[in-house]
Amino acid sequence: MKNKRRYINVEHLLSFICFALIIGLWCVLSFGGMVSELFLPSPVAVAKRIVELYKDGSLWANCFESTARVVVGWFWSVVVALPCGMLMANSRKFSAFIQPIIEFARYLPVVALVPLTLLYLGIDETQKYTIIFLGTFFQLVLMVCDTVSGVDANLINAAKTLGAGKWQVYKEVIFPAALPGLMDDFRLTIGWAWTYLVVAEMVAAQNGLGYMILRSQRYLATDTIFAGLILIGLIGLITDFLFRLLTRIVAPWHERLTDK
């Protein structure tokens, strides 16, 4: 136990050192005048910009809009992918029916679908959600299917010989057994959802971090671009942390290799 605590602190320290090194390098490059301010704004300039965004209220507004888009789009992708993936893992027929189209769709570049979504859905929020849904859904279905297929057959057999019916096996065994793996899948896909955010806010958006970054490009406002990137990264870190926490709460029984 004692050992473990110390270990975690060393790990935290290493993570911190990594960030410190990058910021240090950034300082050297910009304050040392090695790279022009236009390409690489100084850390101070970016910090100032973030404070400005905070003061004029656009920081929270943009963070909120973008987070809402990511979460709603991702949420629908989870809602549809979860039953689809579970069915795929447990029914050969369903898998044969749906797998080819999913594999096909998985390779379509989401950017190329933007014109169609605009044509079909217009420019409101639904179009943004759809982009994020399309970007994450097809991957997630396959991940869910994989995770569910990996559930120990011994557990399923034990449940059957204890009298569990088909639905009970799903509800009482497959779902709880797969839960830690599913949480990982969800955590990874919400990360990808953030990468599709910029695609979603590329056209016909009036707010959001992706929009802020794209617009800044037009005015060569690199400090704003950096501010936006840092904010997205920070939100990502927080999301990741929350997911790990949530996994520990919903599956406290789960042992990870890194726990040992």
Partner 1 sequence: MEQYRLQAIDLTKVYEDGKKGLVTAIDRVNLEVKDGEFVMIVGPSGCGKTTLINILGGLNTATSGEVLLDGKPVQGPGADRGMVFQGYSLFPWLTVQKNVEFGLKMKKMPKAQRAEQAKKFIDLVGLTGFENALPKQLSGGMKQRVAIARTLANEPEILLMDEPFGALDAQTRVVMQELLADISKKTKTTILFITHDIDEAVLLGDRIYVMSRRPGTIREVLDVNIPGVRSHESLVLPEFLATKKKIMDMLWQESMDAAMDQ
Binding site for partner 1 (CB under 8 A): 152, 154-155, 157-165, 168, 172-173, 176-177, 179, 251, 253-255
Minimum separation from the CB atom of position 247 to partner 1 (A)? 13
Q: Rounded distance, CA 201 to CA 135, Å?
A: 13
The whole-angstrom separation of Cα 90 and Cα 170 is 10
For the bound state, the minimum distance from the C-beta of residue 141 to partner 1, rounded and expressed in Å, comes to: 24
Nearer to partner 1, 173 or 213 (CB): 173
Whichever of 125 and 184 has its CB closer to partner 1, that residue is 184
Identify which of 63, 82, 80 has the alpha carbon closest to the alpha carbon of residue 239: 63
Neighbours of 175 (CB within 10 A): 15
For residue 257, the one-letter residue type is: L
Q: How far is the CB of 94 from partner 1 (least distance, A)?
A: 21
Rounded CA-CA distance 24/26 in Å is 5
Tell how far CA 47 is from the center of its chain: 25
Task: Return the HEC string of 20-77.
Answer: HHHHHHHHHHHHCCCCCCCCCCCHHHHHHHHHHHHHCCHHHHHHHHHHHHHHHHHHHH
Of the two residues 103 and 152, which places its CB atom closer to partner 1 in the complex? 152
Pairwise CA distance, residues 37 & 80, whole Å? 46
- Least distance (Å) from partner 1 to the CB of residue 157? 5
Written as six digits, the tokens of 144 are 């869910």
Which one, 124 or 255, has the nearer CB to partner 1?
Answer: 255
Q: Which DSSP category does 256 fall into?
A: -
Q: To the nearest whole angstrom, how small is the minimum distance from the Cβ of residue 162 to partner 1?
A: 4
State in angstroms the smallest separation of the CB of 243 from partner 1. Answer: 18
- Give the ranges where 151-204 is alpha helix by DSSP (H): 153-161, 166-168, 175-200
Residue 66, judged by CB atoms within 10 A of its CB (0-12, 13-18, 19+), counts as: buried
Give whichever of 187 and 254 is closer to partner 1, judged by the CB atom.
254
To the nearest whole angstrom, how small is the minimum distance from the Cβ of residue 186 to partner 1? 18
Of the pair 132, 173, the CB lying nearest partner 1 is at 173
Please, which residue, 88 or 177, has the CB nearer to partner 1?
Answer: 177
